[in-house]
Amino acid sequence: MAEGHGSQLKPAPAKLKSEVSKYFMFKGSDGKDEFDKTTVVCKLCPQELRFCNDTTNLRNHLSRRHADKLFGFSDSGQQRLDVAFACKLQSDSPRAKKITEAIAMLICKDLRPYNIVENEGFQNLIKVLEPRYVMVTRKCLSEMVIPKKYAEVKTNVESSQQNELPLRVTAGHKGRLTRMSP
Ligand SMILES: [Zn+2]
């Protein structure tokens, strides 16, 4: 087998969606259209790494050996953009949460369907605004984010009604709160 980064190297398979994986090539087996799925080669240095079905190892290598590529300053804005793509936001990070909430608000206020998050145009808009954001799923929106938002809004409305409207506690209603007539 030839040494070095020859034509046997293949890009990471498409199913490996992680942006990190674009910095690595898989070693191809001789004469076969298959990958050696256990070894990847860094595109930035000659190092070979073990690949164990996730990108943890690859991410660690990038941050240890190529931290400048990941986090440093670069003369090229384009490269920095690539680097930004490499570090996706965790869904529980403050920035990601804020975006997810804004999408939930858009759906509620503008009466948009949940599947707006699957629309190409909408996805592109978010990608332009925040390339690191991983789009919230329709399921997560409909089962978690929106019900939570709804409960919050309901509580807020109820408490603001109690604060803003003069309350009248009447003995006749056994202490129940009633609104003033307009
Ligand atoms: Zn490397």
- Taking each continuous run of H as one helix and of E as one strand, the counts in the chain are 7, 6
Same domain? 104 vs 74: no
Cα 96 to ligand 1 centre (Å): 29
Cα 67 to ligand 1 centre (Å): 10
CA–CA dist 90, 75 (Å, integer)? 27
Cα 53 to ligand 1 centre (Å): 18
Cα 58 to ligand 1 centre (Å): 9
H/E segment holding residue 153: helix 146-164
Out of 35, 66, 86, pick the residue that ends a domain. 86
Same domain? 21 vs 80: yes
Cα 48 to ligand 1 centre (Å): 8
pLDDT, tens digit only, all 182 positions of the chain: 444 444 467 666 655 556 667 788 877 655 556 666 778 888 888 888 888 777 788 888 887 888 766 654 344 444 455 554 557 888 889 999 999 999 999 998 999 999 999 999 999 999 999 988 999 999 999 999 989 888 888 888 888 877 665 555 555 444 455 555 55
Same domain? 68 vs 98: no
Cα 95 to ligand 1 centre (Å): 29
| Cβ atoms of residues 55 and 21 within 8 Å | yes
Q: What is the pLDDT of residue 177?
A: 52
Out of 86, 111, 137, pick the residue that ends a domain. 86
Query: Is 46 within a domain?
Result: yes
Same domain? 121 vs 81: no
Same domain? 32 vs 48: yes
Q: What is the pLDDT of residue 1?
A: 44
Phi, psi of 5 (to 5 degrees): -90, 75
Same domain? 57 vs 119: no
Out of 66, 86, 106, pick the residue that ends a domain. 86
Same domain? 22 vs 73: yes
Query: How many Cα atoms occupy the beta-carbon half-sphere of 12 within 13 Å?
Result: 21
Cα 43 to ligand 1 centre (Å): 6
Query: Is 176 within a domain?
Result: no
Same domain? 43 vs 67: yes
Same domain? 39 vs 55: yes
Please enumerate in sequence order all residues whose Cβ is within 8 A of that of 59, keeping only pairs 6 or more positions apart, or say none.
Answer: 20
Cα 66 to ligand 1 centre (Å): 6
Q: pTM of the predicted model, to two decimals?
A: 0.43
Report the domain count for the chain: 2
Cα 76 to ligand 1 centre (Å): 20
Q: What is the pLDDT of residue 78?
A: 47
Same domain? 25 vs 82: yes
Cα 83 to ligand 1 centre (Å): 15
Same domain? 22 vs 79: yes
Cα 63 to ligand 1 centre (Å): 9
**What six digits make up the tokens of 90?**
């965790």
Cα 107 to ligand 1 centre (Å): 43
Q: What is the pLDDT of residue 95?
A: 93
Cα 80 to ligand 1 centre (Å): 17
Domain around 128:
94-153
Same domain? 13 vs 72: yes
Per-residue three-class SS string for 115-142: HHHHCHHHHHHHHHHCCCCCCCCHHHHH
Query: Is 164 within a domain?
Result: no
Query: Is 1 within a domain?
Result: no
Cα 42 to ligand 1 centre (Å): 5
What is the DSSP code string of 78-115? Answer: HHHHHHHHHSPPPTTSHHHHHHHHHHHHHHHHTT--GG
Q: What is the pLDDT of residue 43?
A: 86
CA–CA dist 19, 59 (Å, integer)? 10
